[in-house]
Amino acid sequence: MDALLAVLGAAALLLLLLTARLLLARRNSSPRTAPLSLLVVAGSGGHTTEILRLLSSLSQSYSPRHYIFADSDKMSEDKIRTFEQKRAETFSNSQFTLNRIPRCREVCQSWSSSVLTTLYSILYSFPLTFRLKPDLILCNGPGTCVPVCISALLLEILALKKVIIVYVESICRVETLSLSGKILYYFSDYFIVQWPALKEKYPKSVYLGRIV
């Protein structure tokens, strides 16, 4: 079991290290030695658990880590604080921030009204993303990631900054993508799936096996 977890952790590490290399290679300026700023979108329940498993394999090179989650999501906040407190035992200079945005869609909310709440969430997210100016965004499917990633795309459209978006579809998605995945499949720089059936349906995706 420990060997399996080690392999999975190595895969997660390889994923983001590769992304960071590609990000730096795209830049015309000389290589920098400073850490890469990482924005992590957390979601309630399993989404946050999966994303923290990925983060546990990353070195301190990904710092600071800026967490974004829905303003009504108390569970994610508690999990992140516990994770970062444990991480600080290994990395004494560990840096992170907690940031909240309005939830795009509540459970049982109508689709028509969710359009308005999503637009509001995007308007709220853009100044936050502009202020944080991350190098990388890592997300795995909660609805909160859609306005955040759209805000990052707006930064690029306005020539303010290019932000690399890495989307990792949840392990529970075996044959179909989540709604967030269906949207961000077309906009993410790297779209990772964990089941071969999804790779067959979505050729742009990258299949690395189970990584969480």
Mean pLDDT of 28-53: 79
Alpha carbons 82 and 86: distance in angstroms, whole number: 6
Q: In one letter, which amino acid is 87?
A: R
Give domain status of residue 181, yes or no: yes
Give domain status of residue 121, yes or no: yes
Q: Per-residue confidence at 30, pLDDT binned at 50, 70, 90? A: very low
Half-sphere exposure of 121 (CA within 13 A, CB side): 26
Please spell the DSSP secondary structure of 12-45, one letter per residue.
HHHHHHHHHHHHHHH-SSPP--SPEEEEEE--TT
Range(s) of the domain holding residue 121: 34-207
Give domain status of residue 45, yes or no: yes
Q: Per-residue confidence at 37, pLDDT binned at 50, 70, 90? A: very high
Alpha carbons 202 and 47: distance in angstroms, whole number: 21
Mean pLDDT of 183-192: 94
Is residue 15's pLDDT more than 80? no
Is residue 27's pLDDT more than 60? no
Task: Report the mean per-residue pLDDT for the chain.
Answer: 84
Is residue 165 within a helix (H) or strand (E), and if so which, with residue range? strand 164-168
Q: What is the CA radius of gyration of the chain?
A: 16
Mean pLDDT of 95-102: 94
Is residue 26's pLDDT more than 60? no
Q: Write the CA distances from 93 to 40, 59, 60, 89, 184, integer angstroms.
A: 19, 12, 9, 10, 33
Better pLDDT: 136 or 93: 136
Give domain status of residue 4, yes or no: no
Give domain status of residue 20, yes or no: no
Q: Of 29-33, 175-179, 203-207, which gets the smallest average pLDDT?
A: 29-33
Is residue 155's pLDDT more than 90? yes
Q: Per-residue confidence at 192, pLDDT binned at 50, 70, 90? A: very high
Give domain status of residue 85, yes or no: yes
Give the per-residue pLDDT at 92: 78
Give how many domains the chain has, as a whole number.
1
Give domain status of residue 3, yes or no: no
- Looking up residue 114, the CATH number of its domain turns out to be 3.40.50.2000
Mutual orientation of helices 46-55 and 74-88 as an angle, nearest 10°?
20
Is residue 53's pLDDT more than 80? yes
Give the per-residue pLDDT at 137: 96
The answer to whether the beta carbons of residues 142 and 43 sit under 8 Å apart is yes
CA dihedral (188, 87, 11, 133) in degrees, to 10, reads 20
Better pLDDT: 19 or 175: 175
Q: Which of 5, 3, 23, 25 is nearest to 138 (CA)?
A: 23
Is residue 45's pLDDT more than 80? no
Q: Per-residue confidence at 7, pLDDT binned at 50, 70, 90? A: low
